[in-house]
């Protein structure tokens, strides 16, 4: 009885099939990871919105925004020695933050962050203090506040003017529209800002 091994062609075909299946599995895993992180960011933004509204009810104005999310963090969950705790109207902390949720500069880290020194993957916050809707910040929720993070690519455009968020010339969300910026335009139904995660 003759023993017959695999030919080189057969081995290459099997190896090719394994590589293809591995690629599909990795791609599926990465997509699932991105969706999970987006869901985490959305849920965190919803928590922040609730905490900001509670703060405004008590204090009569939105939390400061001069240092973005660092100011927001200090207003909602200040250190024990912070003078705001002596204000009789302040009834916080409105939201307590874990050490892993803030970077070395007290800014709030998003789910894509790469450690305590990351200043790219953070939440951005701006509020309306002058009660004039034609001034900015904020750009989107002009009579209240904006909170957003830049998503996995860490890109969000070149500033607040003209809605320039997330202009990286890529169709990040796969809806057929590249960098949709018009809130009333094609692609607006899914948020129109590609992979940015936001409260508008």
Per residue in 127-177, pLDDT tens? Answer: 988 777 666 667 778 788 989 888 887 876 544 443 444 555 666 656 676
Per residue in 36-93, pLDDT tens? Answer: 898 899 999 999 999 999 999 999 999 999 999 999 999 999 999 999 899 999 998 9
Sign of CA dihedral 168, 173, 176, 181: negative
pTM of the model: 0.72
CA 25-26-29 angle, to 5 degrees, is 85
Q: Output the six-digit token pair for 120.
A: 């790219």
- Within 8 A by CB and 6+ apart from 124, the residues are 68, 69, 146, 147, 148, 149, 150, 156
């Amino acid at each position: 009885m003759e023993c017959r091994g695999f030919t080189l062609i057969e081995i290459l075909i099997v190896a090719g099939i394994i590589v293809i299946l591995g690629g599909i599995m990795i791609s599926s895993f990465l997509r699932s990871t991105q969706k999970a992180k987006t869901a985490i960011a959305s849920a965190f933004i919803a928590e922040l919105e609730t905490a900001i509204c509670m703060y405004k009810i008590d204090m009569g104005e939105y939390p400061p925004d001069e240092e973005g999310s660092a100011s927001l963090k200090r207003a909602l969950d200040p250190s024990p020695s912070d003078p705001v705790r002596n204000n009789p109207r302040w009834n916080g902390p409105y939201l307590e933050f874990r050490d892993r949720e803030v970077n070395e500069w007290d800014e709030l880290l998003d789910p894509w962050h790469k450690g305590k020194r990351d200043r790219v993957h953070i939440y951005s916050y701006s509020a309306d203090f002058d009660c004039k809707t034609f001034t900015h910040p904020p750009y989107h929720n002009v009579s209240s506040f904006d909170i957003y993070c830049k998503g996995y690519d860490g890109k969000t455009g070149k500033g607040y003017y003209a809605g320039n968020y997330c202009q990286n010339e890529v169709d990040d969300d796969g809806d057929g529209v590249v960098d949709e910026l018009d809130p009333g335009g094609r692609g607006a139904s899914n948020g129109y800002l590609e992979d940015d995660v936001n409260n508008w």
